[in-house]
Copies of this chain bind each other. A is one copy, B any other.
C-alpha cells in the first residue's frame, strides 16, 4: 500500500489521541495501587462503546478485563495492559507526566507508549475497521487487558490457564512492538523466559576484622566462586544440564536472523560498550536464540571511600537467567542448586525472587506471523525487522500453551521512547501508522 492509496484515517487518529489523552490522565500506577479501578472502568467503557461485551475478573492488584466482539472465520486475541509505571523521578519530566503533551512530532506522557498508546491505536484501527465493514467486525476479537503488568503480572498465568477456553484464538497480538527511527517496523515472534534469583551467603553472626580471614571463610569469595562457575568467557552458561532442553534451531529462525541488518551498532555504540560478547556476525543469533545468565547486582561488605579491613558476615548476588524454548524455569533452579552443591557451595542459599516466565517462540512460517509481517511492510512502507524472539521476557508462554496460538508483537514504541522513565513518548508518525496497521492487520485476518 503506497501512501496515496491509504484510507483517510484522520478522524480515527484524532479520536484515538483523545482517548489516549483521557487514559494518560488516569494515574493507574499498579505499584502504588493508584486509580486502577477507575482506569479499568474507562477502558471497559471504550470497549463497550464499540460493541464489546466486557467481563471483569478480580486480579491480585487490579481487575482483569476480557472483552469480545465481532464474528468471522478468524479469532484474534489482543493482549494489553492499562496500568503504568510510577512517574518517579517526577522532577525530570519536561511536561506533566499525566498530561499528554505534543512537542516536535512526539507525544509525551506516562503510558503514551507502554501500554495505553498501544491499546488506543488498536482501538482506533478497530473503529475504522467497523466503519469499513458497515458497523460489523469481519473477525472475532477477544481482548484481554490486565492492570498488573508493571508489577510482574502475578495473576496472568493462572488466569490464562483457567480461562483457556474463553480465550481460545487463532493468533495472539502481543502488547508491545516498536518502529526504528527510519520507520522500519520491528516484529517479535517470541520472548525469552526468565528466572530471577538471589544467592545469599553468610559465614558469621556479624562482621569480623579482616585479620580473621586466616581462619574464617569469606562470603564474597564464596559468592564470587559461585558466579564465576555460571558461565564461560564467551557467555555460555556452564551449569551441567542447562542446555539439554533447548529446542533445535530451525531454518526459518536462522533465515530471519540472517535478514536482520547490522550487528547491534546502535546498542554497542550508544552505550559505549567496551566488552561485547561473541563475534559481530553472531549478534542477532545471540540476542534472539541464546540463553543467558546475568549478574544484576552483587553486594556485601564495605563500599565507601578508601579501605576498611572488614571480613563481611554476609553477601548477596542477584542474577537472572534468560531462557529459550523449551527450557523450564523450575528445572533451571534445580540444576543451579545441584551445580552449587557439586562444588561444595551448598551453604549458598538460592532465593527465588518472583514468578518465573517460560520462554515462548512462535513458528515464523505460521500464516498469522506472515500476515503481520506483510501488513507491516505495506503500512510502514519499509521491510519489517522480523525477530524470532526478543531478548527480553514477558508472560507470552501461557498464551501459546493454553490459547494454543502463535503470538506476534507489533506496535508503536520507538527506541528513544523512554518507557518506564521520565519523558516517556511516542512518535505521532508511529501512532498514526499503528492505527493503520491495526485496521489492515485485522481486516487481512478477517479475510482468512
Report which A residues bind B (CB closer than 8 A).
192, 194, 196, 198, 202-206, 208-218, 220-231, 233, 235, 264, 267-268, 271-278, 283, 286-287, 290, 292-303, 306-313, 315-318, 320, 322, 344, 347, 353-354, 390-393
Contacts and interface: CB of A to CB of B under 8 A. Distances in A.
Question: What secondary structure prevails in chain A residues at the interface with B?
Answer: mixed
B220 A292 contact: no
A388 to B, nearest CB: 13
Contact of A196 (B213, B215, B307): B307
Nearest to A217: B275
A300 B298 CA distance: 5
Contact of A306 (B192, B203, B353): B353
Contact of A310 (B275, B296, B303, B311): B296
A339 to B, nearest CB: 14
Nearest to A203: B275
Contacts of A311: 294, 296
30 contacts: A194-B309, A198-B307, A203-B273, A206-B271, A209-B392, A210-B292, A211-B390, A211-B392, A212-B391, A213-B294, A213-B322, A214-B235, A214-B277, A214-B278, A214-B287, A214-B290, A215-B264, A216-B273, A216-B277, A217-B235, A220-B297, A220-B317, A222-B275, A224-B295, A225-B228, A294-B309, A296-B309, A296-B310, A299-B300, A306-B353
A364 B320 CA distance: 54
B211 A393 contact: yes
Interface centre among A194, A227, A277, A296 (most CB of B within 10 A): A296
B297 A301 contact: yes
How many chain copies does the complex carry? 2
Contacts of A294: 210, 213, 218, 309, 311
A215 B287 contact: yes
Nearest to A289: B214
B390 A292 contact: no
A287 B392 CA distance: 49
Given A213-B293, A214-B278, A294-B309, 4 more contacts: A203-B274, A215-B283, A217-B276, A298-B315
Contact of A221 (B231, B320, B390): B231
A220 B294 CA distance: 9
A217 B234 CA distance: 8
Nearest to A233: B344
A371 to B, nearest CB: 27
Interface centre among A204, A211, A223 (most CB of B within 10 A): A211
A347 B306 contact: no
Contact of A215 (B216, B221, B268, B344): B268
Contacts of A310: 296-297
A224 B228 contact: yes
B283 A301 contact: no
Contacts of A192: 211
A41 B204 CA distance: 44
Closest 10 CB pairs of A and B: A297-B301, A211-B391, A224-B227, A196-B307, A205-B272, A217-B275, A297-B302, A220-B295, A213-B294, A224-B224
